Amino acid sequence: MSLNPPIFFKEDKDSTKELQNTSLTKEEPLQNLCLASQEVLQKAQQSGRAKCLKCGGSRMFYCYTCYVPVETVPIEQIPVVKLPLKIDIIKHPHETDGKSTAAHAKLLAPEDVNLYTYPCIPEYEERKHEIVLVFPGPNSVSVEDISLHLHKHIPSNALYSNKNDSPDKLPSKRQKMEVEENRDPEDSNRRDSNLLKKVVFIDSTWNQTHKIITDERLQGLLQVELKTRKTCFWRHQKGKPDTFLSTIEAIYYFLVDYHTAVLKEKYKGQYDNLMFFYSFMYQLIKKAKSSSGKQQENSAINL
Ligand SMILES: [Zn+2]
């Protein structure tokens, strides 16, 4: 991946208060994450671009078309993040792969993340009681209210099949009995909070998103809007507010919110390694910017 000259977001010192409690505060974005050692990335960066073992392409850190690390980055030194639900990322066909952060999610949570290139996307119609689409809009709800709204989408024959990932499989008699035996109120609460099985993200520049979001296969999915958070993305899109997050930022923030607001568990950095590549690249670009003489602007970021 090429690290293009950075375009930094505009610092807005007045808007930092609400972010104090998150890992990504404005003064020191990406500083307090619980990350695996990034030494492997430091070494890879020093030796420069390397070969993708799958397609042979010359890449930095990882191959953004094969979703594997390059040969100088041993895969066992890349952290694996286990996610509490499945994630689909729909990419716009004209989105430049090397500029997208969607690959980070696939590399770091390979078991739980799938990428699709529009218009080849899965059929969600049968499962809209357990899937949400992260996209802001007039009807979008907060992460906190997901379970409440998903209930309205539950078809009567799906009540017992929440534990199955496949929509086609009906629960066996035994499973059904187990479910019925466990029907105490506390358990039912737990089931409610676990209604959600899959989250869909769109990876595209905001100007290209329209075609995807209006696709009929995505209509009827509950839309979720993230809390206001500001991007650190170095390729922040010109003219757009800094609340437009990069894909990996959106996934990360969604999961942090889901963990605390829906699963009701204390967040202890479980998903921070999703920012493994992102935070390293962010630091690299910060340093590059500093050495290119734009000291004044950079010192605002070091606050
Ligand atoms: Zn490759």
Among candidate residues 19, 53, 78, the one where a domain is terminated: 78
Q: How many CB atoms sit inside 10 A of residue 293's CB?
A: 8
Q: What is the count of structural domains for the chain?
A: 2
1 in any annotated domain: no
pLDDT tens, position by position, 141-184: 999 999 889 888 777 665 554 444 444 444 444 444 444 444 44
Are residues 129 and 209 located together in one domain of the fold?
A: yes
Q: Could you give the 3-state DSSP secondary structure of residue 91?
A: strand
Among candidate residues 78, 93, 126, the one where a domain is terminated: 78
Q: How far is the CA of 65 from the centre of ligand 1 (A)?
A: 5
Are residues 74 and 195 located together in one domain of the fold?
A: no
Could you tell me which residue, 265 or 246, shows the higher pLDDT? Answer: 265
- Domain extent, residue 141, equals 79-161+187-230+241-303
Could you tell me which residue, 79 or 190, shows the higher pLDDT? Answer: 79
- pLDDT of 121 strictly over 80: yes
Give the helix ranges, DSSP H, for 166-229.
173-181, 185-193, 209-213
Could you tell me which residue, 173 or 139, shows the higher pLDDT? Answer: 139
Instruction: Using the structure block, give the residue that is written with the tokens 């293009």.
Output: 4
Token pair listed for 281 = 């690249």
30 in any annotated domain: no
Q: How far is the CA of 282 from the centre of ligand 1 (A)?
A: 23
Among candidate residues 29, 50, 78, the one where a domain is terminated: 78
Angle at 242 (CA atoms; ends 104, 81), nearest 5 degrees:
25
5 in any annotated domain: no
Q: How far is the CA of 191 from the centre of ligand 1 (A)?
A: 40
Are residues 83 and 66 located together in one domain of the fold?
A: no
Residues lining ion ligand 1 (Cβ < 5 A) are 52, 54-55, 57, 63, 66
53 in any annotated domain: yes
pLDDT tens, position by position, 18-68: 333 444 444 566 778 999 999 999 999 999 999 999 999 999 999 999 999
Q: How far is the CA of 69 from the centre of ligand 1 (A)?
A: 9
79 with 108: CB under 8 angstroms? yes
Q: Mean pLDDT in the chain? A: 78
Beta bridge partners of residue 88, listed in sequence order: 114, 200
78 with 276: CB under 8 angstroms? yes
Are residues 122 and 267 located together in one domain of the fold?
A: yes
Q: How far is the CA of 81 from the centre of ligand 1 (A)?
A: 22
